[in-house]
Amino acid sequence: MSIAAPQPQPQNSADRDAHPGGTVTDRLVEANRQYAHTFTDPGMDARPVQRVAVVACMDARLDLHQALGLELGDCHTIRNAGGVVTDDVIRSLTISQRALGTRSVVLIHHTGCGLLNLTEDFRHDLEDEVGQRPSWAVEAFKDLDGDVRQSMQRVRTSPFLLHTDDVRGFVFDVKTGLLREIEPRS
């Protein structure tokens, strides 16, 4: 059994197909040329101005900078499927805090997350299909709030981080654009 996802239909495919024959990456490269044309070097260094790291799901409907009123240079954004606090997220947070001066952590999951419909069967089916067991866990979850709490707990208990006093978790509602804060496990 293949576990490949069905292809979504773009809503404005006519607009996006301005370069027939070009791939999506070709369109991105062209967009970058236009971006660079008006870009001016803001002269910042690599340390985020707001001293905050945001860990969020990779979901295409979540525009972190718009949703949180962030400007270029304000924050680190660390994203993966689910916004799960994996070892690699801890790696990034550790570098963010120890080398680049951030001290607050914001965790964002969201409604309608693709991981809500998955189970660890995904991993087993993958192994059946390709003949190799992935070294990573899917980290699927059924309870959004519970998973945000677990993510907060993983950050707060990490021995590698310098700052674990300002760690807050939220669920972003993809229908309303609003964040709902999740109280940590007491």
Q: Which is nearer to Zn ion, 57 or 182 (CB)?
A: 57
Smallest distance, Å, CB 163 to Zn ion? 26
Residues 11-70 that bind Zn ion (CB under 5 A): 57, 59
CB atoms within 10 A of CB 70: 18
Smallest distance, Å, CB 116 to Zn ion? 8
Integer angstrom CA distances of residue 132 from 5, 125, 127, 135, 136: 20, 10, 5, 9, 12
**Kind of pairing between the strands at 179-182 and 167-172:** antiparallel
Smallest distance, Å, CB 115 to Zn ion? 6
The binder of Zn ion chosen from 52, 113, 148, 155 (CB under 5 A): 113
Question: What is the size of the binding site for Zn ion (CB under 5 A)?
Answer: 3
Rounded distance, CA 139 to CA 84, Å?
Answer: 7
Dihedral over alpha carbons 119, 114, 131, 85 (to 10 degrees): -80
Element (H, E) at 52: strand 52-57
Question: Which of these ranges, 19-27, 39-47, 67-75, 109-117, lies near Zn ion under the rule CB under 5 A?
Answer: 109-117
Smallest distance, Å, CB 31 to Zn ion? 24
Residues that bind Zn ion (CB under 5 A): 57, 59, 113
